[in-house]
């Protein structure tokens, strides 16, 4: 069913594609599903159609449970569809940090959990003969400065302490001028949409029900648990699994105070110089990530990085340009075929929240906060949630439980995150803008003055102006214009809206108010 036509974003000239679209979703026809139109019942209802939700649905359906999967938009159109798709337990410089804050045993468990996830994906691909460009690769963190070379040395000591299969090297296959490189052996990469498309078909074959364009907005816990949708329908089930990027239901758990949203960027390019294989990320800031993929049998290099808090920082298009410059210097760029961005949530201690939404809520489970390593952490979550639902022992349950709190670093991070929110909440209310909507050029957006009030305006390529109230519908922060993606992004909790105001990412549930 693959479409072998030229992708929409392909450009013969060496320039950035006009619109952000991920490589993964091109050349593949995913099945389409209707929205939920009635009240239904199931053994388990899963909210969120990314790698966690689909894998959890696959696992539970394979155990004979009646499963319902709800997706607010389209399956695999969120963070999973915008990943770099590295399957690795090398999550940047993390193990020395976990040892310092949580102890050696917790650090070892984190490694084992992610290696188990890698083994699960590898075995599933092999046993079910899934054609998803799966390949075994070594993963490298490299340092270009003495300061970060010393950090790599500390991380290598953590590897040794935890019996992680790794080596500290002076050189690596990718020809870069480095001080040190830390390699983790026998990791992997794949095409996540091809892999998950197979799991979707298995879910359907086993009687699972999937609904798209169905927004879960609340939970009714009075009698039997039920997910309530924005259209007024309910799915009653013994177990509710919140596997959406940001928890679709927060209750009084205040997850938005315990995580922050971070954006990163990716370009997919054809290069002059041959890529040597392997997966790479630098130790310094700004981040730089490289791996290869296949486009019609030809190597395509995914160049990622440029991390920043959502809704904050410089013109987002500049991040794409910085990656293009890095790619040009490193491998020489013939053509940039795709560009896209991704948003990830980072918890107080950098370890995901997976398990009971709050202690004692055995029927209401959550998985979130993967810190840009969702292929393994998302699979870890699905495996753990399955075991909780089936009341099986799982050695990783205490490590990931959402109610945990380590004074160091959680207390410091809690005040840092929420102090930053307060700063941006106040800042947005007192900014003055003198530009009017009619002053915008075609395909330009920004904050303007409209009828004497702060407003957000975007003039599309046909000259039509779209004006919205920039006040985020979550907690009232003022959103900022994202030039690179043509969206309105909230600097407080990471909600994102289209230029016409529709919700793209939570925690906001309601669209921005239209003013045109």
Which position has the higher pLDDT, 293 or 419?
Answer: 293
Tokens linked to 132:
């998803």
Q: Is the pLDDT of residue 311 over 80?
A: no
pLDDT at 427: 57
pLDDT at 414: 65
- Which burial class, exposed, middle or buried, applies to 392 when counting CB atoms under 10 A from its CB (0-12, 13-18, 19+)? exposed
For residues 470 and 425, give the distance between their C-alpha atoms in angstroms, rounded to a whole number: 12
What string of H, E and C letters represents the secondary structure of 472-492? Answer: CCCCCCECEEECCCCEEECCC
Nearest 5°: phi and psi at 376? -85, -50
Q: 57-67: buried (b, 16+ CB within 10 Å) or exposed (e) per residue?
A: bbbbbeeebbb
> Looking at residues 5-28, what average pLDDT do you find?
68
Q: Is the pLDDT of residue 12 over 60?
A: no
pLDDT at 59: 98
pLDDT at 410: 61
pLDDT at 5: 35
Lowest mean pLDDT among 112-121, 363-372, 468-477: 468-477
Tens of pLDDT along 29-63? 899 999 999 999 999 999 999 999 999 999 999 99
| Cα→Cα distances 425→263, 312, 313, 391, 428, Å | 19, 12, 15, 43, 6
- pLDDT tier, 224 (very low <50, low <70, confident <90, very high otherwise): confident
For residues 349 and 471, give the distance between their C-alpha atoms in angstroms, rounded to a whole number: 30
Cα Rg of the chain (Å, integer): 22
pLDDT at 463: 86
Tens of pLDDT along 149-207? 999 999 999 999 999 999 999 999 999 999 999 999 999 999 999 999 999 999 999 99
- pLDDT tier, 4 (very low <50, low <70, confident <90, very high otherwise): very low
pLDDT at 508: 84
Q: Is the pLDDT of residue 304 over 70?
A: yes
3-state secondary structure of 410: helix
pLDDT at 8: 43
Nearest 5°: phi and psi at 216? -75, 130
Closest CA to 455 of 509, 507, 514: 514
For residues 11 and 17, give the distance between their C-alpha atoms in angstroms, rounded to a whole number: 7
pLDDT at 509: 83
pLDDT at 260: 87
For residues 417 and 348, give the distance between their C-alpha atoms in angstroms, rounded to a whole number: 9
Tens of pLDDT along 279-288? 999 999 999 9
pLDDT at 62: 98
3-state secondary structure of 180: strand
Q: Is the pLDDT of residue 13 over 50?
A: no
Percent of the chain beyond pLDDT 90?
64
* Helices 51-62 and 192-205, packing angle to 10 deg: 30
* Residue 160 Cα to chain centre, angstroms: 30
């Amino acid at each position: 069913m693959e479409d072998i036509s030229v992708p929409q974003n392909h450009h013969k000239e060496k320039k950035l594609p006009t619109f952000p679209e991920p490589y993964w979703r091109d050349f593949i026809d995913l099945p389409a599903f209707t929205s939920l139109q009635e009240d239904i019942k199931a053994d388990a209802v899963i909210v969120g159609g990314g790698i966690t939700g689909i894998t959890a649905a696959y696992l539970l359906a394979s155990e004979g449970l009646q499963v319902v999967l709800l997706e607010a938009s389209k399956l695999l159109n969120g963070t999973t569809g915008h990943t770099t798709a590295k399957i690795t337990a090398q999550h940047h410089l993390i193990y020395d940090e976990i040892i310092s804050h949580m102890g050696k045993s917790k650090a070892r468990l984190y490694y084992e959990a992610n290696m188990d996830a890698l083994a699960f994906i590898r075995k599933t691909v092999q046993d079910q003969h899934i054609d998803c460009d799966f390949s075994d690769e070594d993963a490298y963190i490299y340092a270009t400065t003495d300061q970060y070379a010393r950090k790599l040395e500390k991380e290598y000591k953590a590897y040794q302490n935890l019996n992680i299969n790794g080596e500290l090297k002076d050189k690596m296959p990718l020809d870069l001028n480095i001080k040190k490189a830390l390699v983790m052996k026998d990791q992997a990469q794949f095409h996540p949409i091809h892999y998950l498309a197979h799991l979707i078909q298995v879910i359907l074959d086993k009687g699972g029900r999937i609904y798209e364009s169905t927004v879960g907005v609340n939970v009714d816990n009075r009698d039997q648990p039920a997910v309530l949708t924005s259209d007024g329908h309910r799915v009653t089930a013994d177990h509710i699994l919140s596997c959406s990027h940001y928890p679709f239901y927060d209750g009084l758990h205040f997850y938005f105070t315990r995580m922050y949203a971070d954006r990163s960027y990716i370009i997919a390019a054809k290069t002059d110089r041959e890529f040597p294989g392997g997966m790479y990320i630098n130790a310094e800031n700004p981040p730089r990530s490289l791996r290869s993929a296949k486009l019609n049998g030809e190597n395509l290099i995914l160049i990622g990085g440029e991390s920043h808090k959502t809704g904050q920082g410089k013109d987002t298009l500049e991040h794409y340009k910085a990656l293009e410059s890095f790619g040009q210097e490193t491998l020489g760029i013939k053509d940039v075929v795709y560009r896209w961005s991704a948003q990830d949530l980072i918890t107080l201690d950098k370890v995901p929240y997976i398990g009971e939404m709050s202690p004692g809520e055995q029927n209401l489970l959550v998985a979130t906060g993967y810190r840009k390593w969702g292929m393994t952490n998302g699979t870890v979550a699905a495996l753990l949630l399955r075991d909780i639902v089936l009341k099986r022992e799982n050695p990783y349950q205490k490590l990931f439980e959402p109610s945990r709190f380590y004074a160091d670093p959680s207390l410091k991070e809690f005040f840092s995150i929420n102090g930053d929110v307060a700063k941006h909440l106040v800042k947005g209310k007192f900014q003055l803008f003198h530009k009017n909507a009619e002053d915008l050029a075609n395909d330009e957006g920004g904050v303007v003055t409209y009828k004497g009030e702060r407003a957000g305006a975007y003039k599309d390529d046909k000259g039509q102006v779209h004006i919205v109230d920039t006040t985020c519908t979550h907690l009232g922060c003022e959103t900022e214009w994202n030039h690179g993606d043509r969206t309105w992004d909230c600097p407080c909790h990471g909600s994102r809206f289209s230029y016409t105001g529709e919700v793209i990412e939570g925690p906001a549930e309601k669209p921005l108010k239209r003013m045109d």
